[in-house]
A and B are shown apart, each in its own frame.
Chain A
Amino acid sequence: MSDTSFDAKPIENEAQFGDFFALLKPRVMSLVVFTAFVGLLAAPTPVHPFIGFCAILFIAIGGGASGALNMWYDSDIDAVMRRTQSRPIPAGKISREEAFGFGLTLSVFSCVFLGLATNWLAGGLLAFTIFFYVVIYTMWLKRLTPQNIVIGGAAGAFPPMIGWAAATGEITTASVLMFCLTFMWTPPHFWALCLFMRSDYDDAGVPMLTVTHGRPATRRHILGYTVLLAILAIALGFTQVGGTVYLTVAVVLNALFLKGAFDIYRRDEDMAEADNFAVERKFFKLSLLYLFAHFGAILIEAGLDKFGVAL
């Protein structure tokens, strides 16, 4: 047998293990892991630590697989935008077919193994999340509507609900509200970034609210979603995952977040450019703390509950 058949690819573009790992969008995966972990630990049903570890791992792999399928379908967009040009497919390291096979295999693997390790509601929810992100968001609505970020945010909001379902086998008000927290948080978080970062989505033909409806409309949308977010975030405090710690964090952060959204709403472009989008940047930074602190507070409540500490 000749070994020349193995040398089809140029040597400098040989995909390494890290390139396949990059297909899983590791940064997005960290949010998935954290929120799924909180959902799992906040659930009233105790889970064996090894089963819990496996559940989080399979949810993370499922999230990563949907990222790989997203990169497979969006490789044309990724090749146009500067931010994504170095991703493995546009960089020529991994072919579209390889990415598709990799993503699909990991999708099936993660859902089946989550179902086997925990229960089929959790496995089914993970399958639905992957379907929602890849088919509904990536293939259908991302290039069709400026509300794309709202729809994409829904896919990213499922992990705490899956973690909860993995532990309890149920969908409850608390798990739905944990979903709503990330779902409603995503639009103001992302649109604030759009206001101060020049994006090349427009060159790639992806409709963004700042371009299709203008920046004043984006400011109104940020305020509207922030008001809805505040209502849902406070409501979560009155479910079984809430408590004094969560409500204190939620009241303080939602008051600050609402003030930030109102300040953004009141400004026009001249005011924003005069201070180099200081208010928008501050709001974006606060949004990162906002989500982390809310889920962190749920985690603290779960810890206090497990150790029998009442506040």
Chain B
Amino acid sequence: MSLTKQHELHERRKTRNIGLGLTLAAFVAIVLGLTVVKISSPSFQMQPEAAANGN
């Protein structure tokens, strides 16, 4: 028997799946936010050779 969308396993693990999804979304947002803040800070400098190569 194949696993269908209506399987009771989905219902049983609904809060776990939603919670995990939201946690992963928050993790992505935090990494993105940290990256933006870090590269926007005045102390952030690219390596000179990387900047010259346009990388």
The residues of A that contact B9 with a CB separation of less than 8 Å are 3, 6-7
Q: Is the CB of B30 within 8 A of A54?
A: yes
The residues of A that contact B1 with a CB separation of less than 8 Å are 2-3
Known contacts A3-B1, A3-B9, A11-B12, A17 near B37 by CB under 8 Å: no
Q: Write the chain B residue with the least CB distance to A15.
A: B16
Q: Which B residues between 11 and 49 are near A, CB-CB below 8 angstroms? A: 12-13, 15-16, 18-20, 30, 33-34, 37, 41
The answer to whether A252 has its CB under 8 Å from any CB of chain B is no
Q: Is the CB of A17 within 8 A of B41?
A: no
Cα(A15)–Cα(B19), bound, Å? 12
Contact indicator per residue, chain A 11-43, by CB within 8 Å of chain B (1) or not (0): 100111110110000000000000000000000
Q: Measured between C-beta atoms, what is the minimum distance from B24 to chain A in Å?
A: 12
Q: Is the CB of B37 within 8 A of A18?
A: no
Interface of A is mostly: helix
The answer to whether A198 has its CB under 8 Å from any CB of chain B is no
The answer to whether A289 has its CB under 8 Å from any CB of chain B is no
Q: Is the CB of B30 within 8 A of A3?
A: no
The answer to whether B7 has its CB under 8 Å from any CB of chain A is yes
The answer to whether B53 has its CB under 8 Å from any CB of chain A is no
Known contacts A2-B1, A17-B20, A50 near B15 by CB under 8 Å: no
Q: Measured between C-beta atoms, what is the minimum distance from A130 to chain B in Å?
A: 20
The residues of A that contact B30 with a CB separation of less than 8 Å are 54, 57
Cα(A14)–Cα(B20), bound, Å? 15
The answer to whether B52 has its CB under 8 Å from any CB of chain A is no
The answer to whether A291 has its CB under 8 Å from any CB of chain B is no
The residues of B that contact A6 with a CB separation of less than 8 Å are 3, 9
6 more A-B residue pairs beyond the given contacts A6-B9, A51-B34, A116-B34, with a C-beta to C-beta distance below 8 A: A3-B9, A16-B15, A17-B15, A17-B16, A17-B19, A51-B37
